[in-house]
Amino acid sequence: MTGAAIAGMGVTFPGPMRQDEVWTGFFERHYSGPRKGLAKRIFTNSGVVSRHGAVNPLIEDASSWSTAKRMGRYLTEALPLGKDAVTSALDAAGLRPDEIGLFVVCSCTGYATPGLDILLARDLGMAPTTQRLFIGHMGCYAALPGLGAATDFVSARGRPAVLLCLELTSLHVQPPSEDPQQIVAHALFSDAAAAVVLVPRAGQEVAEIAAVTDTATADHMTWDVTDLGFRMGLSPKVPDVLAIYVADLVGDLLARHGLTLADVDGWAVHPGGPRILDVVRDQLALPESALAESRDTLAEHGNCSSPTVLLIIDALRRRPSGPPRNTVALAFGPGLTLYGTLLRGL
């Protein structure tokens, strides 16, 4: 058995959009009814300053598109974004595509068969013997179980693996609605692709991945396929549920490795929204500075679903003062599920 260490990362985005321009140029008309005032407050207080969209609502209104049209556009946009992210990660790791033993792809915003895993493996020039794993339906936390699968492969087989998380939430703008949950989703979500290369050597090792799921709250976060794309359900009770579990999960994870909260110098917390970050800060008694990269990622890129926690890990690795020695990554999603990951050393 060998360890699995991060050898390279790559991130890429479709075109940028400013949150205030998206509001005034599109969503202000989209929510022109009784909920307009509420919608404006949600957009203003979302913590998002800029974000990215394969479909820019200032140019194209996708809210009336059929699901079939959205899925066609998904493939058109996803393939070049995914290829760029994986290529950047492989270049950073100094590896060729045909050296990869396992290719893991996470995405819940589009579906096709053959899937992104097959099409990108072909376009990138991976070997015919490369194993593939596609993870869908997990939403915002998918990166961490994906990282776990890749880590297990590298540790057991002694061969490199690549994880790609790619989401195009901009494809799923819904028709005008009075539902506050739809307003929140439209204010927060964004597009991105992020890739990680894992290799069998010492470095920033994936020490452990832990999870807890409260199935009694399964209806708090949903992602339903409709005739007009995928529709988000996002209960305002989500932060309250996370508050119940996050301290125990993190404390137990660290204790198994002889660590305490004081030993953690890097926090990658999925910014499901400002309240999520507030809950994690308060439940773990962290200083506000511990969440700087998480809040900055929300402000600069929005909530990109599964790639987001990888964007924060990448930002931590690029700190001017040097990367953290011990990083805890946290992500949340349907289930209601909380995943935690400990990354150790460089």
What are the E-state strand segments in the chain? 5-12, 16-18, 50-52, 102-106, 131-135, 161-168, 191-199, 204-213, 221-226, 229-234, 266-269, 326-333, 337-344
- How is 59-123 classified by DSSP, letter by letter? T---TT--HHHHHHHHHHHHHHHHHHHHHHHHHHHT--GGG-SEEEEE-SS---SS-HHHHHHHH
User: Which residues, at least 6 apart from 95, have a Cβ–Cβ distance to it below 8 Å?
Assistant: 7, 8, 160, 197, 199
CA distance 247 to 259: 14
Cis check: omega of the bond before 114, within 30 degrees of 0:
yes
Per the structure block, which two tokens stand in for 333? 């999603």
Per the structure block, which two tokens stand in for 122? 């072909």
User: Which residues, at least 6 apart from 242, have a Cβ–Cβ distance to it below 8 Å?
Assistant: 276, 279, 280, 332, 336, 338
Note if 106 is an active site residue: no
Q: What is the phi/psi pair of residue 322, to 5°?
A: 105, 155
CA distance 80 to 100: 19
Tokens 């597009």 sit on residue: 191
Q: How many helices (H) and strands (E) does the chain have?
A: 11, 13
- CA-wise closest residue to 264 among 287, 241, 283: 287
CA distance 137 to 103: 18
**Alpha carbon distances (Å) from 272 to 94, 190, 243:** 33, 11, 14
Question: Which member of 108, 140, 165, 304 is catalytic?
Answer: 140
Active site (catalytic) residues: 140
